[in-house]
Amino acid sequence: MPLVDGDPAAEGDVWYRILTSDKHITKGRIQHAAFQGKFIKPPPPEKNRPWNAEASGRLRSLAGSIDDVRVHCRAYCGKINRSFYGLMFPKEPLAGQTIESLEVGIFYTPIEGTDEAHSDLTFTGNVPFVERSEEHDRLVMALSGKFNALHPDQTVLLPDAHVTTEPQKGIERLKAALRSAINKIRG
Amino acid sequence: MNPARALRTNDTTPPPETSLRMLSQDDPYAMTELVIQVASTVPDWGKVEAYLPAATSFMTPYALDNLHYHMLSAPKACFVFAKDVLENAKRDTLFSCLRTNELNKDLLLFIDTARKTTEASLLSLVSEQFHAQTKTANILHLTGIGHHLLLDVPPADPLDGYEQYQAVDWDGHGAEAITAETLAYARRIMAVMPQTLGTPDVAPAADGTIALEWVPDDTTHKLDKLFLDIGPGEVWRAYWTLRTGEFGRLPQTGFSDETKTILKNLFIDLSA
């Protein structure tokens, strides 16, 4: 069954994000500057998402061939008048992990007419949005070790999705909604 | 490569062969035996090391299996590639290593082994188009033309070009501008930065800061990671994790005589 907006990504899928600064890859890893600023931001209120923060990316399973990935990266960067400097993707499956007390998920969030493979890396919990706070620094520190980096000519090394099971959409959505509600109650 | 930045010198005094100490191609340990040179305060432009930054490693990539190790361990590496190596079947492997480790912050020289001796054209270094992502600002680009040398001196300022981040949305994702004040302040801070942990990896951050990081390759080092973010404005803060998992943080404001001492003590603490 095809994914619909708000569905969790299937186990084995790969989330990846386009890098638009050449200095955000250093010695084969992601420089922590890549996690500053608007890397994570609250979801649009009108979407009523069951998570508290998200980072934009794409799902490998929906991105087509590696050539398609490459073409999209260049087209995307061209559209925002930037250069394509590479990709980041998790070193290991992040969905279900807890990073600095935040529950991590990967959810399908297509942008109609623009990016049908769009997906968000999501964070549920008390997200430290205040930049340069200790909690934010801790989160940046934790995230910095979680991703691999690829230069544009290494795009071929982006792992394929190995989707073996249907995502537990109902259960995952319910869990996410419950977590979000609890978090809101806690303030 | 930017030939417009090249300077010409007529000093063709060649460095002695021993300054290169290039080993034979059949020496499997060539990578581990090379020279660490120390920068001279008064450059002798006739010597190749005059064109290199301090603590530069000279290496030859004959033993490619060892190349990876050296790339990770050298704080600032200069890879002196014999042209004949580049022309053989190992070339693709070599370039793949380069890309993987993003050595484009370092120097890359191409040297013709046939001219490694004391010929006047010893520094007939042949640069080649090798990777689109290479940061041209950090390349020492030498080409021998007769008895002359063309050289492109690497910038001492790691913030060279950061003026481009003074516009908002420089990343296409709504980044905040890195102001001229932040940039000037970062230069002052970095001028007194201890070198005990090596050269930091520097990057612009979308929150208007300049992000420095040190990640020791040595897994026995006490420090796991040290981040030091400068700005916006005249503030900086360091935060780090030790290999024990302990997290630490040190926010600071302004610049005074104490700043250098604070940084020095921090680096000592994190290195001990």
pLDDT average, residue stretch A90-104: 96
Q: Are B198 and B212 in contact (CB under 8 A)?
A: no
Do B249 and B123 lie in one domain? The reply is: no
pLDDT average, residue stretch B124-142: 31
Least confident among A38-47, A160-169, B108-117, B155-164: B108-117
- Torsion sign, CA atoms A129, A122, A17, B247: positive
Q: How far apart are CA A140 and CA B55, in angstroms?
A: 31
Q: How far apart are CA B213 and CA B199, in angstroms?
A: 9
- pLDDT score of B105 more than 70: no
- pLDDT score of B176 more than 70: yes
Q: How far apart are CA A63 and CA A116, in angstroms?
A: 8
Å between A165 CA and nearest CA of chain B: 33
Which tops the pLDDT comparison, B33 or B179? Answer: B179
Look at A141 and B247 and tell me if their CB atoms are within 8 Å: yes
- pLDDT score of A27 more than 90: no
Do B18 and B79 lie in one domain? The reply is: yes
pLDDT average, residue stretch B141-157: 34
Give me the half-sphere count of Cα atoms (radius 13 Å) on the Cβ side of residue A119: 26
Residue B141, Cβ neighbours under 10 Å: how many?
22
pLDDT for the residue numbered B7: 27
Which tops the pLDDT comparison, B39 or B245? Answer: B245
Q: A44-78 b/e with 16+ CB inside 10 Å = b? A: eeeeebbbbbbbbbbbbbbbeeeeebbebbeebbe
Least confident among A91-100, B100-109, B151-160, B258-267: B100-109
Residues of A in contact with B105 (CB under 8 A): 26
Å between A137 CA and nearest CA of chain B: 7
Q: Is A37 on the interface with B (CB under 8 A)?
A: yes
Q: How confident is the model at residue A2 (pLDDT cuts 50, 70, 90)?
A: confident
pLDDT for the residue numbered A3: 92
Of B151, B173, B201, the residue at which a domain comes to its end is B151
Do B136 and B168 lie in one domain? The reply is: no
Whether the bond between B232 and the residue before it is cis, its omega within 30 degrees of 0, is yes
Of B98, B129, B151, the residue at which a domain comes to its end is B151
Percentage of residues of chain A with pLDDT beyond 90: 73
Q: Is B204 on the interface with A (CB under 8 A)?
A: yes
Which tops the pLDDT comparison, B272 or A47? Answer: A47
Expressed as residue numbers, the domain containing B128 is: 3-151
The listed range with the strongest mean pLDDT (A26-35, A111-120, B27-36) is A111-120
Which tops the pLDDT comparison, A136 or B113? Answer: A136
Do B265 and B180 lie in one domain? The reply is: yes
Which tops the pLDDT comparison, B96 or B56? Answer: B96
A113's torsion region: left (phi>0), alpha (psi -120 to 50) or beta?
left
Q: Is B167 on the interface with A (CB under 8 A)?
A: no
pLDDT for the residue numbered A57: 97
Q: Give the C-alpha distances (Å, rounded to integers) separating A161 from A13, A14, A63, B46, B64.
A: 4, 6, 10, 55, 32
pLDDT digits (tens, 9 = 90+) for B218-231: 888 999 999 999 99
**Would you say residue B173 lies in a domain?**
yes
Do B214 and B267 lie in one domain? The reply is: yes
pLDDT digits (tens, 9 = 90+) for B197-212: 988 999 999 999 999 9
- pLDDT score of B259 more than 70: yes
The listed range with the strongest mean pLDDT (A97-111, B14-28, B129-143) is A97-111
Q: Write down the mean pLDDT value for chain B.
A: 60
Which tops the pLDDT comparison, B110 or A159? Answer: A159
Do B33 and B167 lie in one domain? The reply is: no
- pLDDT score of A94 more than 90: yes
Q: Are B188 and B159 in contact (CB under 8 A)?
A: no
Q: Are B37 and B6 in contact (CB under 8 A)?
A: no
Least confident among A1-5, A26-30, A124-128, B112-116: B112-116
Do B10 and B143 lie in one domain? The reply is: yes
The kind and range of the H/E element at A107 are: strand A102-108
- Partners of B59 in the β-ladder: B79
Do B90 and B205 lie in one domain? The reply is: no
Which residues are CB-neighbours of B54 under 8 A, at least 6 positions away? B38, B39, B76
Residues of A in contact with B227 (CB under 8 A): 32, 137, 140-141, 144
- pLDDT score of B103 more than 70: no
Q: How far apart are CA B101 and CA B73, in angstroms?
A: 11
Of B87, B121, B151, the residue at which a domain comes to its end is B151
pLDDT digits (tens, 9 = 90+) for A107-151: 999 999 899 999 999 999 999 999 999 999 999 999 999 999 888
Residue extents of the structural domains in chain A? 15-186
Residues of B in contact with A85 (CB under 8 A): 133
Give me the half-sphere count of Cα atoms (radius 13 Å) on the Cβ side of residue A6: 15
Do B68 and B179 lie in one domain? The reply is: no
Total domain count, chain B: 2
**Would you say residue B157 lies in a domain?**
no
ipTM over 0.90: no
Q: How far apart are CA A120 and CA A122, in angstroms?
A: 6
Q: Give the C-alpha distances (Å, rounded to integers) separating A135 from A48, A96, A163, B58.
A: 25, 20, 34, 42
Least confident among A38-42, A44-48, B11-15, B121-125: B121-125
pLDDT for the residue numbered B194: 93
- pLDDT score of B180 more than 60: yes
Do B129 and B25 lie in one domain? The reply is: yes
What are the φ/ψ torsions at residue A115 (nearest 5 degrees)? -150, 100
Q: Is B199 on the interface with A (CB under 8 A)?
A: no
Q: Are B192 and B263 in contact (CB under 8 A)?
A: yes
Q: Give the C-alpha distances (Å, rounded to integers) separating B152 from A115, B3, B78, B140.
A: 43, 8, 14, 5
Q: Give the C-alpha distances (Å, rounded to integers) separating B112 from B15, B152, B159, B235.
A: 15, 18, 32, 48
Å between A169 CA and nearest CA of chain B: 30
pLDDT digits (tens, 9 = 90+) for A147-187: 998 888 788 889 999 987 665 566 666 666 677 677 666 65
Look at B227 and A77 and tell me if their CB atoms are within 8 Å: no
Q: How far apart are CA A21 and CA B186, in angstroms?
A: 19
- pLDDT score of A20 more than 80: yes
pLDDT for the residue numbered A26: 84
pLDDT for the residue numbered B98: 43
**Interhelix angle for B64-73 vs B91-101, to 10°?**
20
Contacts 24+ apart (CB under 8 A), B215-223: B215/A27, B215/A29, B217/B72, B217/B73, B219/B243, B221/B271, B222/B270, B222/B271, B222/B272, B223/B197, B223/B270, B223/B271
**Would you say residue B205 lies in a domain?**
yes
**Would you say residue B53 lies in a domain?**
yes
Q: Give the C-alpha distances (Å, rounded to integers) separating A40 from A51, A83, B11, B70, B177.
A: 12, 21, 55, 35, 18
Do B174 and B122 lie in one domain? The reply is: no
pLDDT for the residue numbered B262: 97
Do B185 and B75 lie in one domain? The reply is: no
Look at A141 and B171 and tell me if their CB atoms are within 8 Å: no
Percentage of residues of chain B with pLDDT beyond 70: 43
Where are the alpha helices (H) located in chain B, listed in sequence order?
A: 17-20, 64-73, 83-86, 91-101, 180-191, 257-271
Q: How far apart are CA A120 and CA A97, in angstroms?
A: 15
Q: How far apart are CA A16 and CA B13, in angstroms?
A: 52
- Partners of B110 in the β-ladder: B81
Q: Fill in the DSSP letter of residue A49.
A: -
